[in-house]
Amino acid sequence: MTLTEAIQEASSVLKAVGFKNHLWQARILAAHVKGLSPGQLYSLYDLSFGDKALEETFFSLVKKRISGVPLQHITGEWDFFGRTFKVDGRALIPRPETELLVEYITKAPLPRKPLILDVGTGSGVIGISLALEMPDSTVVGTDVSAETLELAEENRLLLGAKNFSTVNCNLADGLNRQFDVIAANLPYISSKDIQTLDPVVKDHDPLSALDGGTDGTLLILELVESTPYKMKPGGLMVLETGYDQEISVPSFFSKELWTDIQTHRDLSGNHRLVTARRL
């Protein structure tokens, strides 16, 4: 069986059980099994799997995807901001929308050698991306889960982010430094909405990375209230928030401590970020 034939068969099976982007998902799995990039498959349309065992592995992964296992957990890796990160059940699967947060910070006016805090770093995609995009920076990633920080450390080593380090703590508790930037993609889904999420998210992402309390802003509010004195004057805070938190989250920022409080939408037109500067 050629790669093209196998991909078409897998695509048909995925489509039949209701998967969107079925052809794309089949290509991702085929490329993973063959150790190729998805783009390389286009020039190898008549290539055989070359090994019956590889072909069987491919279709076993298709079955795993049908069972509900996230594509990212099957491949064990995912791209974020132009780099491939290791991903698994220890942390939230990176979302493309979060790239807006990294992009905003890299384009913002900052000191030449900024000290950056990535709160709730998870797999490290935000902090490591910032560290690599801004090699003169020093980036600290915090997380309450030691297990999650192990994944962040694995990604740090994988991508060679020497200016990124991690601290096991809640939010910014115990950190006695003043930062130029505080970035965070904290849980922002309300507790009552967790069970309505797509099973791929609800059943495979850590609950602690999803549940933001009664209205989804519990940890966000705690962070805003606890960190003003951990920021240098003029320091920048950038928060990813829920689509329905465009009014509530900006109200957390006291006018006596913060200025230039703004909201930002993503390419789909949905509210995505709240930013503010420390007075």
What are the angstrom distances between the C-alpha of 160 and each of 136, 156, 167, 241?
Answer: 14, 6, 18, 29
pLDDT in tens, 218-241: 999 999 999 999 999 999 999 999
- Domain boundaries along the sequence of the chain: 3-67, 77-278
Lowest mean pLDDT among 83-92, 151-160, 209-218: 209-218
Beta bridge partner(s), residue 166: 141
What is the pLDDT at residue 136? 98
Per-residue pLDDT at 134 exceeds 90 = yes
Per-residue pLDDT at 88 exceeds 80 = yes
What is the pLDDT at residue 45? 61
CATH of domain 77-278: 3.40.50.150
pLDDT in tens, 28-56: 999 999 888 887 877 766 677 777 888 99
Pairing assessment for the beta strands 271-278 and 258-265 based on DSSP bridges = antiparallel
Which of 186, 143, 181 shows the shortest CA–CA distance to 165?
Answer: 143
Instruction: Tell me how far apart the alpha carbons of residues 243 and 263 are, in angstroms, rounded to a whole number.
Output: 11
Per-residue pLDDT at 266 exceeds 70 = yes
Q: Report the percent of the chain where pLDDT is more than 70.
A: 99
245-268: average pLDDT: 97
pTM greater than 0.85: yes
110-133: average pLDDT: 98
